[in-house]
Structure 1
C-alpha cells in the first residue's frame, strides 16, 4: 500500500460565510469549539466531541485554507478527510506514482508547540480530497497555526467517528475499493457471510423498488480509522430518487454522503438531539428486516440525525 492511514484526524467542511453549520454542530449535536484560525479570508473552526473532530472552513480566500484546499464546489459540503500517516512527503510521492494528483505538495507548519507536515491529494470519489498529515511530536491540542479555545466540555453524546459513507455512481464500488486498498491500506469488511467483494451487500426496498449496494472497508480490526462504506443505487423502478441518487444529483458527482458517529447511549443522544431541535429520519422498513443470520450494517438500532443509524451510532448528514 502507498500510505497506510493510521488515524482519522478530522472531517473538513467548506461553507460560505454565514452558513450556520458550526452553530448547528454545537446546538444540535453537542460539539464544542476546540481550536480556531482566521487568516486570508478564511475562518477555520475545529469542533470536537470525544475523538470526533469536524473542521469547518468558512469563507473563501485568495489562498487555500490551512490543511486543505478550497474545492470551489457549488454546493457547501464535507469535501476533505484528513488522515494521520507516518511520512507525509513519502505518502505524496507514493500516491502520485499510483496516479493520484497531488493538489497541495508537502507543507511544513510550525508554532511554539511543534511542527506538522501535510499534503493534499485527490481521490477517485468526486469532489472528496484527502489530507495526509504527519504530526508526530506536536504537543498542541489540535494543529500548528490554530489557537486553542475553551476546554469546556458539552453534553458529550458522541465518542468517535464510527464510519464514513461515500455516495458512488452505479458500478464504481469495485474500482474505489481497490484504490482505497492500494493507496491507504483499506481491506474488504464483509457485511454478510461469504460476501463477494465485487458485489457487496444489497439492501433492497422491495420488489421493483430498487435499493442500495453497500461495500464496507476497514484498515484493520480495532483500528482508529473509521470503517469506510461505499454506497450505490441498485437498479429498480423506485417511486423517487433514493438518498444516493439525490446526493449525486445535488453534488454533481460522488462524495462524502454522511458521517456515522458512535454514541455509548443512543437513547440519551436521541433525546438530546431531539430536544435541541434536531430532525430524525425514518429508514426504509426493509433496512431492519433482514434474517437474523445476516449482520445488517445498522441492525438493532434506532435512527438519529439526517440518515439511518448503526448500532450505537448516530449519523448527522454531511450535506450542508
Structure 2
C-alpha cells in the first residue's frame, strides 16, 4: 500500500462508538486498533492509506488531561470550544509525517508556532516513533508531527491491533472503497484566507496552487451568485526534502483548501459552519476512490446520505457532450448524483489519463456527519486532474447550501 504525507486525521467526538459503527458499516472502513484508559477511548479506522483516529474523552470536566498523545480539541480552541454547553464534535487534527522531527519543530518554534507537545520518543515491540504536536493558525486545528520510519506497527505505540490486522495491508486495500485522503477544506472567517496561506507557507513550506483555469491569483476562486457568496484558495506541499515533510508533490499528497464567505452576501454554509462549530476549523475532507460510481452506489445502499446536486446540472449547455466525450454515462451519473468536470485542471496529467489525453474528476458531498451543520465528507475520483473543476465547485457547494436551507426551513416551521 502506498503511503501519503498524512499519517492520520483525528476526530474529537462525544460518541465514538456510534461514529466508528458509521465508518465501519456505512463507509466500509476497517477497525485496525483501539486504545482505552481512564481518560479516553480511541478507535483507529483505515480505508486504503486513509486513517481516522476517533477520540472520545471520558474524563471529568475539571480533570487535567495529560495523555501521551491526546490533545483535547477544547484546550486549543481560540476562545474555547463550547465550554458553557458541552463539547462539539469536531475534526481537529491533521497528523503529518516528517523526515526530521527535531529540525522541523525547531524551525516551527523559531517561526513563533505554539508547541503543544514537545518532541518525545515512544516505542513498543514494533519499533520507535518520535512525536510532537503544534498549534495551527486556524481555529481549533492542530498538527501532530510523526517521524515513524523505524516503526512497523499498525498505528502508534500503545494502541492494540484488532483481529490480527498487523501486516495485513494488502487485504485491507482490496476491501477498501477509499484509497487515500485527497484534500482537507478549512472554513475560516471572512478575509482570513491570505493570513492562513502565509502562515502555512512560512511554517511548513507549503505553496499556493491554482484550483482551475478560472481562478484569479489575487482573489482566489470566487462564487458570487444569488444563493452563494464564496471564496476558495488552495495550497499543497512542495520541496519536501527542504521542509522535512514526507512525499511532497506525490499524487497522494494532501491538498488544503481554505473557504471563506464573501463580505455582505448574507448567510451561507461557511457562516453556518462558523456558528455551529463556534469558530474556524475543518469543514470537510475529500476521500479518493478509484471507482466513484461503484463507491457512491454502495455507500448509498449502506445508508450514507448525500447532498444532492441541482437536477439542472446535467442539462447545462455542453455538459451532456462533455460527459460523453470522456466516456461516462450521463444517466448513471445522474442516477447517483455524481458531478463530472473535464476541465478540472490545465496542468500536467498523471497515469493512464496522460496517454489517453483525458483529464477529469468526479465528486459528491455527503450530508453532515454530526448533529450540527459542521463537518461532512466528499467522495472524489481523479482521472489525471490535479485541480478542482469550476463547474463542479459551484454545483457541489450549491448542493450543500440547498441542504442547509432546507434544514433551516424545517427548524422554523
Bucket of the pairwise TM-score, normalised by the shorter protein = 0.7 to 0.9
Cα offset for 1:63?
A: 2.8
Matched length:
306
Q: Distance in 2 between matches of 1:233 and 1:287?
A: 23
- RMSD of equivalent CA atoms: 3.0
Cα offset for 1:65?
A: 4.3
Alignment match of 2:302 (pick from 276, 282, 293): 276
Equivalent positions of 1:156-305 (< 5 A) are 156-193=176-213, 195-204=215-224, 206-207=225-226, 209-220=227-238, 221-238=249-266, 241-283=267-309, 295=344, 301-305=362-366
Equivalent positions of 1:146-161 (< 5 A) are 146-150=159-163, 151=165, 153=172, 155-161=175-181
Equivalent positions of 1:50-69 (< 5 A) are 50-61=48-59, 62-69=64-71
Give 1:78's aligned residue: 91
Change (3 A) 1:130 1:11: same
Cα offset for 1:259?
A: 0.5
Q: Which runs of 5+ in 2 are unaligned?
A: 75-80, 82-86, 166-170, 239-248, 319-340, 347-359, 368-375, 383-395, 401-413
1:32·1:49 contact (CA, 8 Å) conserved in 2?
yes
If the length of structure 1 is used for normalisation, what is the TM-score?
0.85
Q: Distance in 1 between matches of 2:221 and 2:24?
A: 35
1:68·1:120 contact (CA, 8 Å) conserved in 2?
no
Moved more, 185-194 or 124-133: 185-194
Give 1:3's aligned residue: none
Moved more, 270-279 or 191-200: 191-200
Q: Distance in 2 between matches of 1:197 and 1:59?
A: 42
Alignment match of 1:119 (pick from 132, 155, 161): 132
Q: Secondary structure at the match of 1:235?
A: coil
Give 2:246's aligned residue: none
If the length of structure 2 is used for normalisation, what is the TM-score?
0.67
Give 1:103's aligned residue: 116
Quick check: which has more Rg, 1 or 2? Answer: 2
Q: Secondary structure at the match of 1:94?
A: helix
Give 2:6's aligned residue: 8
Cα offset for 1:203?
A: 2.4
- The Cα offsets for residues 196-219 of structure 1, whole Å up to 9 and x where unpaired, read as 444211123x24x33221111111
Change (3 A) 1:102 1:309: closer
2:9·2:53 contact (CA, 8 Å) conserved in 1?
yes
Change (3 A) 1:135 1:287: farther
Change (3 A) 1:81 1:22: same
Cα offset for 1:129?
A: 0.7
Structure 1 or 2: larger strand share?
1
Q: Distance in 2 between matches of 1:119 and 1:259?
A: 23
Q: Distance in 1 between matches of 2:54 and 2:377?
A: 23
